[in-house]
Amino acid sequence: MRKLLLGLIVVALLAVGAFQLSRARSFQLFGEIVTSIPTEERVVALTFDDGPSERFTYDLLTALGDTPATFFLVGQDIEAHAEAAAAIVAAGHEIGNHSWDHPRMVLMPPGAVRAQIERTDDAIRATGYDGPILFRPPFGKKLVVLPWVLSRMGRPTIMWSMEPDTVLGPEMNAAALIDYVVERAEPGDIILLHGMFTPNAATREALPGIVEGLRERGFGFVTVSEMIGE
């Protein structure tokens, strides 16, 4: 009985450890992980996860104007909304890989992980995009296999240093989002935003204010690849 109890405790501790590792923003067991870049230059990288969507991609592009950003797109949505994806490329933005169908990849075998990445790479190239393709894990979940596969492919794991959606919660509004990002941004930050779907209206509304407020603080904008020197 005592051995069984001890075994259960060990299993529970391992499970907790694995969960914490899977959600760690700045640590992984294999390869390079990027959350921000130490720099004195007053630059930040705006990043958008998910999509593209036929309905809201163009609103984001209009709000950004000539401000560069990095869009981590989902392969099946690129295929479904090819014109919207091509519009992101035509506007001069960077496209990153956010998996084929946005699964939790923590328990996937290596072959399935590689297939998710490579299939989405192909969809990205089909848009006409010819720049570097960075990868960001769906939900930010990694554990062991995904970082190992990325390290074998010579690709860093791209995370973030600011996630206002999560911090501000479901009651977030545009004014709160503007205040949070503009007041707290630091040089080298990678800022995670979501703007592709109906629940992300506050982000779309806030985006011009975020850009204007950061410019007033003396910040410039770069893509993630530019920031990390890819």
* Contact in structure between 207 and 60 (CB atoms under 8 Å): yes
Question: What pLDDT is stored for residue 171 in this prediction?
Answer: 79
Burial class (CB in 10 A: 0-12, 13-18, 19+), 18: middle
Q: Over 80: is that where the pLDDT of 172 sits?
A: yes
Query: What whole-number distance in Å separates Cα of residue 86 and Cα of residue 5?
Result: 57
Question: What pLDDT is stored for residue 10 in this prediction?
Answer: 30
120-140 residues labelled b (16+ CB within 10 A) or e (exposed)? bbebbeebebebebbbbbbeb
- Look at the block and give the residue holding tokens 């407020």: 213
Of residues 1 and 171, more confidence is placed in 171
Active site residues: 49, 194
Q: Give the tens place of pLDDT for each residue, 127-164.
A: 999 999 999 999 999 989 999 999 999 999 999 999 99
Question: What pLDDT is stored for residue 18 in this prediction?
Answer: 46
The residue length of the chain stands at 230
What's the pTM?
Answer: 0.90
